[in-house]
Amino acid sequence: MGFEHKKSLGQHFLTSDVVPKWMCDAANLQVGEIVLEVGPGTGVLTREILNRGARVIALEADTRALAVLQDTFADEIASGALSLHHSDVRKLDFSTLGVVGGQYKVVANIPYYLSGHLFRSFLETNYQPTTLVFLVQREVAKRITTERTRGEKESILSLSVKAYGTPTYIRTVTKGHFNPPPQIDSAIICITPITKEAFTDIDEAFFFELLHLGFGQKRKQLLGNLSNRFTKEQLLHSFSTLNLDPTVRAEDLDITMWLKLCRALTVHS
């Protein structure tokens, strides 16, 4: 690799050729598409994306990794197939990257500690990708891809993601595919199609305010948690209209019902 990993950057470099193939397959990459990669590191995933005929915009915070990438991919940089940016993704300004919402995909092996931030950044922005494929902690991927048919409970994280797209658990990636190996297994998660269609008749900020209120105290029923914002009469009327049990908890409602509840309570906001 030419350099040691930095714990402060949460670096766990992919050393397997097969994982990048799984990720690119999940993204259904096509020739000529634009792919934004966060934290390319030593370029194992970058190489596979380029092999698929996509154009890569890569964001890397580590100057050592940038030097390796510039040397490894000198020809691809010269041809314009790869564009490297020295950038901290937490300060990402989409307008400087030349991407247009709905016209690019994101494929990345991301630092665990940035998972929540990166999901929010790419899903909430007006520059949304059409598809997002992340390699994240296995438990995070499982929590996001809850299946109500199996009786699994929703969370703020799972509902926040599902408000923008459909998440799919692709497959588990064991520790041995990384150097240094993380302490826990990872998983590939794909979210597509990503849109803001759910918010055409709902205020986005109000939806998330409602969501956080509903999960405010996990042991309390949804009605009780929402009573901090609405009267009991307003809530009972909305619950009755939607045929919701007054004793239901926030984690028991799927994204469809949460959106319906948001619409019903909008008149009282």
Burial class (CB in 10 A: 0-12, 13-18, 19+), 13: buried
Residue type, 266: T
pLDDT per position as a tens digit, 61-97:
888 889 999 999 999 999 999 999 998 888 888 988 8
Is residue 57 helix, strand or coil?
A: strand
| Other beta carbons less than 10 A from residue 54's beta carbon | 23
* Minimum mean pLDDT range among 12-26, 105-119, 138-152, 253-267: 138-152
Average pLDDT score over the chain: 91
Is residue 13 helix, strand or coil?
A: strand
pLDDT value at 214 more than 90: yes
* Minimum mean pLDDT range among 95-99, 143-147, 149-153: 149-153
Q: Given pLDDT bands bounded at 50, 70 and 90, which one contains residue 199?
A: very high
Query: What separation in angstroms does the CA of 7 have from each of 21, 55, 176, 182, 240?
Result: 26, 29, 18, 11, 52
229 vs 9: which has the higher pLDDT: 229
What's the pLDDT at 241?
96
Residues 6 or more apart whose Cβ sits within 8 Å of residue 116: 157
pLDDT value at 246 more than 60: yes
What's the pLDDT at 236?
96
What is the sign of the dihedral through the CA atoms of 48, 49, 52 and 53?
Answer: negative
What's the pLDDT at 12?
65
- Mean pLDDT calculated for residue range 163-174: 96
pLDDT per position as a tens digit, 87-130:
888 888 898 888 999 999 999 998 888 999 999 999 999 999 99
